[in-house]
Amino acid sequence: MKILYFAWLRDKAGMSEWQVSPPPGIATVGALIDWLAAQNPDQAEVFADRSVVRAAVNQDFAEADTPVGPGDEVAFFPPVTGG
């Protein structure tokens, strides 16, 4: 599974992407966030305030209950500010 970070989430993560292999029980975006946040202090910092974290799975906006699995591209970012 490929994890991407954008904007200040990338700053906090200290990287723009990484490959992860969560255990089989991690099947939703919400569960993935819990698992990522427990991996190291930087990840805990990225997900410290989940109310300002948005997610996309395979380039579509996702919610906490959106399914995720091996091979998916999961991105995390703050609310968008384009236009």
Q: What residues line the site for other proteins (CB under 8 A)?
A: 4, 6-8, 56, 59-61, 75, 77-83
Q: Which two tokens stand for residue 64?
A: 């906490």
For the beta carbon of residue 42, count every other beta carbon within 10 angstroms: 12
| Residue (28 or 54) nearer to other proteins, CB | 54
Distance between CA atoms of residues 33 and 26, nearest Å: 9
**Any idea of the CA torsion for 9, 67, 51, 1, to the nearest 10 degrees?**
-10
| Residue (8 or 63) nearer to other proteins, CB | 8
| Residue (19 or 51) nearer to other proteins, CB | 51
Write down the least CB distance from residue 39 to other proteins, Å.
22
